[in-house]
Amino acid sequence: MNIFLAGATGSMGQKVVHLLADKDGYDIAGILTSKTDVNPSDYDLADDVKVFTSLDDIEGDYDVWIDFTQPNIVFDNIKYAIEHHISPIVGTSGLSEDQKHELISLADSENVNGLIAANFGLSAVLLMQFAQQAAKYFSDVEVIEMHHEDKTDSPSGTAIHTVDMMSETKQGENINQEDEPARGMYYKGVPVHAVRLPGYVAHEQVLFGGPGEALTIRQDSFDRESFMQGVWVALEKLPEIHGLVDGLENIL
């Protein structure tokens, strides 16, 4: 399987490089990077890896496009992959709902399968599922997400996806009220707070409150290595996926 890795020189991209280094049958054949004059061996890549700095320059045949880039370019990247019949596995957050719907529709028309994941950490996926269950019984909830200082999108895609899942429940239709400004932003009636500080990697809390009781669900990713198990699951499950699926929980 020929892999194209967008964002190969970044922190998450490097984790993917190391993940696939000892996996038979998975070869990183091309990369997209914003860096110029990249020497592949400096990033633990094979010397014959094709290096590109723009979509217009890409050439070669690839089976899978793994994307860990930036919110401002991920939509164009995935649109390119789908139009060239490369299956995308997307870990870059920041896609709007409209952009997701456009990409899902495009993937259907091009008969391309893939995955968009707000978070590849299994603890984060479980937090979303637990919060979705709790939202059936608690209508008052707030979300706090905490990430490293270099994360550009705010709130995080994980926090947004968590609220999306909670809002699917019957009780979730009436979660909170938008009658006061949130200390962050409201999303579907839920106050979502974003923290960006050195020393953090990726953390989220969902806080529910009710008469005389409270429930807190929290997950912590202390190392980016924690996301690689989800990436590997996505690669293994790719032959079973139909269309462009939104959410790692939908293929577990």
Integer CA distances (angstroms), 217 to 161, 175, 179, 199, 229, in order: 15, 17, 25, 21, 21
Last residue of a domain, one of 112, 132, 148: 112
151 is annotated as an active-site residue:
yes
Residues 161 and 142 in one domain: yes
Residue 157 lies in a domain: yes
Residue 147 among the catalytic residues: yes
Q: How many domains does the chain have?
A: 2
Indicate which CATH number applies to the domain containing 42.
Answer: 3.40.50.720
In a domain, residue 6? The reply is yes
In CATH, what number is assigned to the domain containing residue 156?
Answer: 3.30.360.10
130 and 76 assigned to the same domain: no
In a domain, 80, yes or no: yes
pLDDT tens digit sequence for 33-58: 999 889 999 999 999 999 999 999 99
Q: 134 and 96, same structural domain?
A: no
Range with the largest mean pLDDT of 15-24, 102-111, 163-172: 102-111
Same domain, 69 and 140: no
Mean pLDDT of all residues in 88-103: 94
pTM for this predicted structure: 0.81
User: Was 35 annotated as part of a binding site?
Assistant: yes
Residues 105 and 198 grouped into a single domain: no
Mean pLDDT value across the chain:
92
Q: Does 4 count as an annotated binding residue? A: no
- Give the pLDDT confidence of 173-203 residue by residue, as tens digits: 555 555 555 557 888 989 999 999 999 999 9
Q: Which of 15, 147, 193, 203 is catalytic?
A: 147
Q: Is 93 annotated as a binding residue?
A: yes
**Candidate list 15, 50, 84, 151, residue with the active-site label:** 151
The predicted structure's pLDDT at residue 59: 96
* Residue 13 is assigned to a ligand binding site: no
Same domain, residue pair 58 and 81: yes
For residue 2, what are its two tokens? 């020929």
Q: Is residue 7 part of a domain?
A: yes
Q: Is the pLDDT of residue 86 over 90?
A: yes
Per-residue pLDDT, averaged over 78-105, amounts to 96
Same domain, 8 and 108: yes
HEC profile of the chain: CEEEEECCCCHHHHHHHHHHCCCCCCEEEEEECCCCCCCHHHHCCCCCCEEECCHHHCCCCCCEEEECCCHHHHHHHHHHHHHCCCEEEECCCCCCHHHHHHHHHHHHHHCCCEEECCCCCHHHHHHHHHHHHHCCCCCEEEEEEEECCCCCCCCCHHHHHHHHHHHCCCHHHHCCCCCCCCCCEEECCEEEEEEECCCCCEEEEEEEEECCEEEEEEEEECCHHHHHHHHHHHHHHHHHCCCEEECHHHCC
Q: Which domain holds residue 197?
A: 122-221
Same domain, 137 and 174: yes
